[in-house]
Amino acid sequence: MCLLRGSTSRITELPRAPGRLPLLGHAWPMMRNPLRFAGSLPGRGDLVEVRLGPVRACVPCHPDLLWQVLTDDRTFDKGGPFFDRVRGTIGNGVGSCPYHEHRRQRRLIQPSFHPERLERYATVMEQESVTLTGEWEHGQVVDVYGALYGTALRTVLRSLFATRLDADAAAGFRESVETVLNQLTARMFLPQPLQRLPLPVNRRFDRAVAGLRHGIENLVAEYRSGGTDRGDLLSALISARDQTTHSGTTHNEPEAPGGGSLDDTEIHDQVLTMLAAGSDSVAAAVSWALYLLDRAPEALARLHREVDTVLGGGPATGASVRELPYTGRVVTEALRLYPPGWLFTRVTTERSELGGYQLPSGTTVAFCAPAVHRRAGLYDRPDAFDPDRWLPERARNLPKGAFAAFGGGARKCAGEAFGLTESTLLLAAIVGRWRLRRAPGSDVRPVALSTALRPRRLLMEISARDARTAEKGQA
């Protein structure tokens, strides 16, 4: 073991997570119950060793250590065998590119999420939430995550592409995205020889990736030939220009490859990243919020009062988000308890110190938000659902690394405002019209081998809050 404590020459091993198996490492307990596994780590220490298969990884379980990893992305860089496999599928977009490329990419995509554009996207979010809640009927039982995933994917597709996709194209995008997302995380841990075998599951995955690439390339070509800004994400990516010149970089900042705009390959990679991040993450967050609210009647009653007062029976709009603070706190608390992106890896680019341990260059560091989000002593009753813990007067005393559902530092998710706006609108639209109760047959254990930590099967029975809607459903 090559981790040294402090500045002494005595080799001291990191505390290890229990339950390691030969070859598999901690894969079994991690996949079987990821939140229980993550929640157990702080009890072992502030920096804990886990095995991701044969790979040794250090997990920061203290907010200060996690913040150090998130904010020093030059030292703790995206990379290693797991991210290399992700790049092989979704490309080298802003979410997966290494440090020396990230600053340029971030500058180029940031205008895509300008507040003025977000207002346009919010209109799409409103329309899709109205469509979803209008399709449900009193007494119906729905698979909540599946329904929300369809809505979130349609929202991100319409936000990306103002040109209305025909039904076949939209269905093709959805099928391909679902196939890729359902397999992406699992393929991070599978040996590459297994991924190259001509098995049906591998062929479906390869076809889905090729289909997405072909569809996006066709749309980019169509947009470039049109030459007009259609007010969507793809137009913003195509028109993005980096005003920063090489002469403006510091001697500490490496010159990034690429020019002052995104080429077609880079746009393709950004679109894939946005499709992945903007669909299942929102669906998972709102699914968990509905599950938590069903178990907390007082919180649900408060939410009903706020939504009824603000919306007055009308649709949730982008302008109403700022008037729904409790709804926003419910979403944030769901993200704390069930962060969609629950496990990422970084790799040290040089010898560095973390928590008093000296990490050699090339050490894998696993960023696991639940290990901090559910840490005893950091939050009052860390496993309890308490939206008011995000009141400003309570949240201001938390250390910076205490909440990391969107990452932190320069690599904090560029689509944070997009995701929070959509989640808030969607939740408000649902609870404003319907009451959802967990139905028999549900299995709410989190799915770990997914790009978002989602419930396996959350079935909920829908009851109309309006008597006339209930009577119509029973007719």
CA distances from 454 to 29, 78, 314, 422 (A): 17, 24, 29, 17
Read off the tokens for 113.
């999420």
Which residues on neighbouring strands pair with residue 58, listed in sequence order? 49, 365
Read off the tokens for 39.
């929640």
The model's confidence at residue 201, banded by pLDDT at 50, 70 and 90, is confident
The model's confidence at residue 468, banded by pLDDT at 50, 70 and 90, is low
Contact 260, 125 (CB under 8 A): no
User: In terms of pLDDT, which residue wins out, 136 or 219?
Assistant: 136
Read off the tokens for 464.
């109309």
Average pLDDT over residues 367-373: 95
Average pLDDT over residues 96-102: 89
> What pLDDT score does 104 carry?
92
Q: What are phi and psi of 463, to 5 degrees?
A: -120, 135
Calpha distance 313→10 (Å, rounded): 67
pLDDT at 471 over 70: no
Read off the tokens for 42.
């702080």
> What pLDDT score does 462 carry?
97
Range ranked top by mean pLDDT from 114-118, 128-132, 222-226, 451-455: 128-132
Alpha-carbon Rg for the chain, nearest whole angstrom, is 23
Average pLDDT over residues 336-360: 93
pLDDT at 474 over 60: no
pLDDT at 253 over 60: no
Mean of all residue pLDDT scores within the chain? 87
Calpha distance 28→408 (Å, rounded): 29
Pairing of strands 55-60, 364-367: parallel
The model's confidence at residue 192, banded by pLDDT at 50, 70 and 90, is confident
> What pLDDT score does 251 carry?
42
Calpha distance 319→119 (Å, rounded): 8
> What pLDDT score does 9 carry?
31
Count the helix, strand and coil residues of the chain and give each as a percent rounded to the nearest 5: 55, 15, 30
Which residues on neighbouring strands pair with residue 52, listed in sequence order? 25, 55
